[in-house]
Amino acid sequence: MTRRRARAPREPAGLPAGTVMRPMTGSDVETVVALERVLFPGEAWSRELIASEVAASCAQVPDRRYLVVERDSPQGPTLLGYSGLWFGDGKGDADLLSIATVLAARRQGIASAMLTELVSTAREAGCRAVLLEVRESNLAARSLYARHGFEPIGTRRRYYLAPLEDAVVMRLPLQPGAQPGPVGAEHL
């Protein structure tokens, strides 16, 4: 396996002026935990899980990538969004694990820029496709994913628990001719 180099902070196309996208680090964990509780009450990832995911993304040969977008302010950097992707060894499908933007920063291109960057990561790793689950009622997110080429391929019944709701499974093929299998077969 080859070692993937950490990417330096940069300003991808589509980010608002004054913002920067960079790899999530251990120093971001407490802020992300607090945002998880606000953005996903009842389903927030635990501090331990977030810390474990960030540590895995910083491994010598990582199999996942986490990003944050922040804006400088007089009080210091303010986190506006975060996201994560598992890509494994690049031989199968990647999974979009999380993508979130603070309420005050929505509809400014932040989620779109993070999604573009993570899809590029999956493509560079050699993945066949990117999969994700999204609440059936989350029309804004479903529209974002559709604009990026994701298509619905199935439903996971009762996937979300707080409140109880089905998930729409969406897929973006990255390799020509890559066809989806049945939902749940992506890791066989």
177 band by pLDDT with thresholds 50, 70 and 90: low
Instruction: Please name the residue that has the structure tokens 């389903």.
Output: 43
Percentage of the chain modeled with pLDDT above 90: 71
pLDDT-based confidence at residue 77 (cuts at 50, 70, 90)? confident
Which of 72, 97, 93 minimizes the C-alpha distance to 82? 97
Q: How far apart are CA 144 and CA 135, in angstroms?
A: 13
What pLDDT shows up at residue 70? 95
Q: How far apart are CA 18 and CA 33, in angstroms?
A: 24
pLDDT tens digits for range 98-145: 999 998 889 989 999 999 999 999 999 999 999 999 999 999 999 999
Higher pLDDT, 147 or 75: 147
| pTM, two decimal places | 0.85
pLDDT digits (tens, 9 = 90+) for 48-71: 999 999 999 999 989 999 999 999
Query: Given this model, what pLDDT does residue 91 score?
Result: 87
Using pLDDT thresholds of 50, 70 and 90, give the confidence band for residue 188: very low
Read off the pLDDT band of 162 (50, 70, 90): confident
Task: Give the largest CA-CA distance in the chain.
Answer: 50
Which tokens belong to 137?
Answer: 């009622």
Domains of the chain: residue spans and CATH = 19-128 (3.40.630.30)
How many CB atoms neighbour CB 88 within 10 A?
16
Question: What confidence tens digit (pLDDT) does each residue in 38-49 have?
Answer: 999 889 999 999
